[in-house]
Structure formats: structure tokens, C-alpha cells
Amino acid sequence: MDWFFNLSIPAMTVMIFAAMYLLTAGIYLLITRLAVGERARTFKAISPGMLPPLAVVLALLVGFLAAQVWSDMDRAATTVNREASALRAAVLLGDEFPSEAEAQLRELIREHVHTAVTEEWPAMSRRGATLTLVPVALAKALKLALGLDPHTPGQVIAQRELVAAIQTALDARRQRIVLSASSVNTVKWGALLLEAALMLLAIAMVHCDNPATNRLILGIFTTGVAAAFLLIASHTRPFTGAISVRPTVLEQVMPEAGAR
């Protein structure tokens, strides 16, 4: 389903709404054809009171899934911001050391940003990034920081803070790669779709004797369900699709890295 989650919002909207309207039309035609004779009386015997509980269950499912995807998006954005802040702090702390060490540190951070933007982000969007990919540039930067020979109290503090900043960047990178694999799984999608279908089926049965009212209620309900599906689908993968976390703040750490 990578192709689907990489669609633009208008294209995803068209696909989701079309699929939901087709499902609703199929359910309406099925119930209309079956609602004759004894079956019609059986359908009408179904109490309308069962619709609110079904609606509540559907609303809870939508709420839980929406909370999950929004939480994942917020955590992903926070993690990227934390990585960028740590890298920027490392760049500033490097000014306390000799020009050769500072230049080497800047080049390593620039290389890390370039790799993250051009290699890691496409891999994360495909959910193909793993922790087995070693951030070579950051590892070298950490080794460089640990090997510095401070000569003043200020450099001692700067070295300690520099090591901490690089370690924070490494941890933030690990977290964003883990979050890139998050998604709404098939079981959750299936449960949501089944609950929506049951709700549509119940509505169609309860109002089977009034086709015009039936079509109107089914159309309104289907539009609301499709909107909920669009909301969840467009946010289900933090680093995939039109609404996703971009490496913009990382590029701001070393602007020239994005132009390489």
C-alpha cells in the first residue's frame, strides 16, 4: 500500500470517497433487493435503538486510531527537532576548539545532514530504514569529540557538552528511524471498515421501506465515515505521504548540506 499512502491529498480523497460510496451503494442495492415480503418485515423489526451503540463503537475506533496517528506524528516531529537542536549545539560548541578540529566537526555534521536528507528520508518513507544502518558521520564526530584535548576550563565544559549533544543526536536519529516504521496495522483497518459496514447495513435495514430517506441517511453517514478514513490514512505514516515530517529543520543546521 506504499503507493496509496504516497498519493496527494486530493487523489487520496477521491479514492477513499469513491470506495466508500461504492460500498454504500452495494449495501443499499442488496438490502433493497432483499427487502420484499417476509424479509422486509424482518428488516423493519430491527430496532432503531441499535444504531446509537454501533455509532458509539465506530466513534471510539476512529478516536483511538486518530489519537495513535497524531501521537506518532507529534513524536516524529519532536524527535527531528531534537536531533536538529543537538546538531546545532554541536556546531556552536565546536567554535571553542582549534580551527582544524572545528572544521572537521562541521564537515562531519554536514555529511550526516546530507546523508539523512538524501538517503535516510527516502528509506524512511518506504519504511525501509533500520537501525542496522550506522550513522558513520555522527560516529566519527563522537570519536573526534572524545579525542579532543581541552586546554582551558571552558574547553573542558565544551567537550563534555559536545559529547552530550552528539549522543542526543544519535538517540534522536534512532527514535525517528523506529517511528518511521509505525503505522495503522491491517487488523485495525479491518475492524474499522467492518464496523462502518455493519453501521451502513443496519441503517439500510431500518429504513428499507423509505428509499429516499434511506439514500439520504446513507449518503450523509458515508460522507462522515469517508472523512474519518481520510483523516487517519493521511496521517498513518509519520514520514510518508503529503502530510509527513520533512527534514527541513535538519537542513537548517547546515544549509549548504542540502545543496550538495
Angle at 172 between CA 73 and CA 113, to 5 degrees: 100
Query: Model pTM?
Result: 0.85
Instruction: Output the CA–CA distances (angstroms, integers) from residue 167 to 39, 72, 163, in the order listed.
Output: 68, 23, 6
* pLDDT score at 25: 95
| pLDDT tens series, the chain, 260 aa | 788 888 899 999 999 999 999 999 999 999 999 888 888 888 888 888 888 999 999 999 999 999 999 999 999 999 999 999 999 999 999 888 888 999 999 999 999 999 999 999 999 998 888 888 889 999 999 999 999 888 888 899 999 999 999 999 999 999 999 999 998 889 999 999 999 999 999 999 998 888 899 999 999 999 999 999 999 999 999 999 899 999 999 999 876 554 44
* Cα separation values, 8 from 14, 62, 124, 241, Å: 10, 22, 18, 7
Residue count of the chain? 260
pLDDT of amino acid 129: 85
Cα–Cα distances in angstroms (integers) from residue 46 to residues 31, 204, 240, in the given order: 13, 11, 43
Alpha carbon distance 227, 52 (integer Å): 19
Q: List the domain boundaries for the chain.
A: 78-181+245-254
Alpha-carbon span 239 to 126, nearest angstrom: 9
pLDDT at site 90: 93
